[in-house]
Amino acid sequence: MALFTVDQALCNGDGLCAAECPMMIVQMTEGTPTPARGAEKMCIHCGHCVSVCPTGALTLASLAPSDCLEVKKELSLSPAQAEQFLRSRRSIRNYKKAPVDKALLEEAIRVASHAPSGHNIQPVRWQVIYDTDKVKELCGHVIDWMRWMIKEQPETAKKLHLDLVVAGWDFGMDTINRNAPHLILVHADKRNPMGQAACTIGMSYLELMLPSLGLGGCWNGFFNAAAIFWPPLQKALNLDEKTGNYGAMMVGHPKFAYPRMPPRNTPKVTWE
Ligand SMILES: Cc1cc2nc3c(=O)[nH]c(=O)nc-3n(C[C@H](O)[C@H](O)[C@H](O)COP(=O)(O)O)c2cc1C
């Protein structure tokens, strides 16, 4: 089967598909896009050839124009809207007890899974710890790791205030998952050199999507560290040795609203 077909009645011969293809495997032959030699093997199925075509003339074997959502101009953000969208995101550390409708989490993950990944490899695997009791149980493993750190690596533990976290936990305070009802993890194959970056970006997309669904999240650095370094937690998460955990995020319904957006440091930029 050909890598792509072109509807001659729709194609205007503008060559945008050829100019846009990151692998340079679309060539113009007498004004018509055709696959270059070996194109099938090289194609990363990013869909740029389909998405850039103004007339919808090009159909990849794996992707038709009708499979793509149309960009609605009326939904585009102005710079002020984009700034508010990005800057109004807050790390949420106070949650309502009520669990989140699973459909909302599915929706957030569905949208977040459109984040970029090297070679469009899309290596991110999502693990949703939906059950709040299970979240607590897993956080117990994080505490075990912290107790181990306090004993074996006291200097690092002190720097990270692990003693305070453990003392709080023993007192009934959860400063690991902040009593959020759910926890979402991102994994990728450790052998994929681009897996970690894809997970970080995917999780960032997730965090940015949550507020539009009435939800909020916060990176759970403690959980992530324990998932990297503490074998009992890896076992409890069913992580095999080929799989890396590259991010953890607590998720729930925020208890509070944040009417102000705090400033951050002026960016350190060099121009060359
Ligand atoms: C990789 C990473 C790990 C983090 N880990 C934690 C954490 O374990 N617990 C926590 O309460 N906040 C954690 N945070 C949230 C940061 O503290 C927060 O982003 C920062 O204070 C700025 O606040 P803002 O996100 O509301 O702008 C983490 C953030 C990142 C990016």
Fold identical between 4-67 and 91-252? no
pLDDT of residue 163: 98
Look at the chain and count its residues.
Answer: 272
Q: To which H or E segment does residue 29 belong?
A: strand 26-29
Q: To which H or E segment does residue 17 belong?
A: helix 16-20
Cβ–ligand 1 distance for 117 under 6 Å, the answer no
- Give dist(CA 169, CA 151) in Å, integer: 17
* Ligand 1 site-directed mutation target among 219, 249, 256, 260, most atoms within 8 Å of CB: 219
- Give dist(CA 137, CA 143) in Å, integer: 10
Q: Which two tokens stand for residue 200?
A: 């970080």
Cβ–ligand 1 distance for 218 under 6 Å, the answer yes
- Side chain identity at 38, as an amino acid letter? G
Fold of 4-67: Alpha-Beta Plaits (3.30.70)
**Ligand 1 atom 27, closest CA:** 90
- Give dist(CA 2, CA 40) in Å, integer: 8
Fold of 91-252: NADH Oxidase (3.40.109)
Cβ–ligand 1 distance for 220 under 6 Å, the answer yes
Query: Which residues of the chain register pLDDT less than 70?
Result: none
Q: Which atom number of ligand 1 is nearest to the Cα of residue 220?
A: 8
**Ligand 1 atom 20, closest CA:** 91
For the chain, give every domain's residue range. Answer: 4-67, 91-252
- Centre of ligand 1 from the C-alpha of residue 90, in Å: 9
Cβ–ligand 1 distance for 93 under 6 Å, the answer yes
Q: Which atom number of ligand 1 is nearest to the Cα of residue 90?
A: 26
Check residue 219 and report its DSSP letter.
Answer: E
Q: What is the pTM of this model?
A: 0.96
Count Cβ neighbours within 10 Å for each residue of 144-157 and write b for 16 or more, e otherwise.
ebbbbbbeeeeeeb
* Ligand 1 site-directed mutation target among 91, 200, 250, most atoms within 8 Å of CB: 91
pLDDT of residue 1: 78
* Ligand 1 site-directed mutation target among 88, 184, 204, 218, most atoms within 8 Å of CB: 218
Query: What one-character-per-residue DSSP string does 123-149 give?
Result: --EEEEE--HHHHHHHHHHHHHHHHHH
pLDDT of residue 159: 97
Closest among 163, 249, 244 to 204, alpha carbons compared: 249
pLDDT in tens, 108-141: 999 999 999 999 999 999 999 999 999 999 999 9
**Ligand 1 atom 23, closest CA:** 91
pLDDT in tens, 207-217: 999 999 999 99
- Give dist(CA 71, CA 74) in Å, integer: 9
Q: Which two tokens stand for residue 252?
A: 């729930």
- Centre of ligand 1 from the C-alpha of residue 218, in Å: 6
**Ligand 1 atom 29, closest CA:** 219
